[in-house]
Amino acid sequence: MAPKVRVRRRYTAPRTVLLVLAVLGTLISAYLTWTHFAGLTPVCTGSGEGCQTVQSSRYASVLGIPVALLGLIAYGGLIFSTALWRETGIYLGLLISLVGTLFSAYLTYLEIFVIGALCQWCLASAAIMLAALVCATLAAMPLLRGR
Amino acid sequence: MEKNSTLRSPRTLLALLVAVAIVVAALLVVLSQLGGGGGSVDDAGEFYSGIPQDGTTLGEKDAPVTVYLYEDFQCPFCGKFSREMFPDLVDDYVRDGDVKLVSETMAFLGPDSVTAARAALAAGEQNHFWPYSTLLFENQGDENSGYVTDDFLRGLAEDTPGLDVQKWEDQRAGNSFTKELKAVQGKAQAAGVNSTPTLIFKGPGGQAKIDRLTDYDQISSAIDKVDGS
């Protein structure tokens, strides 16, 4: 009889890294959400026009919800997932980071090919989300191997 | 027993999870494409893309025909013109460089006209006068009903693609554009403009004026006339 593999520790290495990434992402999206509602221009290196152009584009909101706020919700969900025990947390983390990465890829595509401007904060968030997906996948590996 | 373990297999769960993630992401993409606060705002970005803008001038600098638009942002007929005929005018003549448009912004219907005109001229400082004025007309309220509030104007600025809203606020606060508005008043007097919208056409073939605009054909024939070719 094969031993049943359980993730006994809440914070394996990938999940710890995932938590750190989620906190970083939360800070970035909180900042962008704040600038959105306060009507400010995000601090951007270079001329700073990239962030302004991207944040004032028609793609900056989905159904009136700022994309930055969606990011904040996603990163909050990731933090929550790392606090959950065992499989549930792992599956939730994987689901959120996969949706986040797919949507970030689409947003980055928009920045480059449609809006024609790059926003460093958005790119940083996309990179963090991708790294979070890698961590969430690594965290889910023991579940797969267990069968 | 066997069925139960297949259903609970991590592989099945993961496959299901990936499928759900793809569906959710696709839904977000579709909603993002639909969004943007309705058709008008979408148009402002795409509509003006590729057309040179310089202050209150729209179109190629060396276009043979120039059309001067005397408008007041609160005037209902100007709004109607902007919504119904202006897009065709741009598509038929401005986009390919035959005509350039110069907005002669008037502000005589009330204090709100002045406020709206200043906001648009401030956007013009960043060469975004035209999309901003389109949004003003698209969202036009009843004359002197007090709809031209700071929040209203700021909302339009935020919806103007590429406009630096903070810079726009600074320019709006720092310049009342009195000189520009007075200059237009002088030009309107000299040209005998006493209602809006009035369109004055100038080209190699002469000059034409429309002050009772009812039909798009009037615009086409005026352009043909002054074009001279």
For B21, the closest of A63, A87, A102 (CB atoms) is A102
Residue A7 within a domain: no
List the structure tokens of A109.
């595509």
If one compares A56 and B193, the residue with the highest pLDDT of the two is: B193
Q: pLDDT at position A52, please?
A: 66
The domain of A120 spans 13-145
Model-wide pTM > 0.80 = no
> Across the interface, do B28 and A103 touch by the CB < 8 Å criterion?
yes
Question: Under the phi-then-psi rule, with left for phi > 0, alpha for psi from -120 to 50, and beta for the rest, what region is A141?
Answer: alpha
| Nearest beta carbon to residue A106 from set B29, B161, B166 | B29
Q: Determine contact: A1 vs chain B, CB below 8 A.
A: no
Confirm or reject contact between A144 and chain B (CB < 8 A): yes
Contact A143 B10 (CB under 8 A): yes
Provide the CATH number for the domain around residue A132: 1.20.1440.130
CB pairs under 8 A between A and B: 84
**Residue A42 is assigned to a structural domain of this protein:** yes
* Any domain includes A8: no
- Domain membership of residue A2 (yes or no) is no
Q: Is residue A5 part of a domain?
A: no
Q: Cis bond leading into B204, ω under 30°?
A: no
ipTM over 0.90: no
Give the pLDDT of residue A10. Answer: 55
Cβ neighbours of residue B207 closer than 8 Å, sequence gap 6 or more: B200, B201, B226
B10: nearest CB among A56, A57, A144 = A144
Over residues A89-108, mean pLDDT:
95
Q: Which CATH superfamily is domain B39-227 in?
A: Glutaredoxin (3.40.30.10)
The verdict on residue A24 lying in a domain is yes
Which residues in chain A are contacts of B154 at CB distance < 8 A?
A: 39
Domain assignment present for residue A6? The answer is no
Of residues A18 and B214, the one with the higher pLDDT is: A18
Residue spans of the domains in chain B: they are 2-34, 39-227
User: What share of chain B has pLDDT > 70, as a percent?
Assistant: 92
| DSSP single-letter state for residue B148 | -
Residue B36 confidence (pLDDT) above 50: no
- Beta-strand ranges (E) seen in chain B are 53-54, 57-58, 65-72, 99-106, 198-203, 206-210
Instruction: Note which residues in 31-60 of chain B have CB less than 8 A from chain A.
Output: 31-32, 35-37, 41-42, 45
Please check whether residue A132 is in contact with residue A86, taking contact to mean a CB–CB distance below 8 angstroms: no
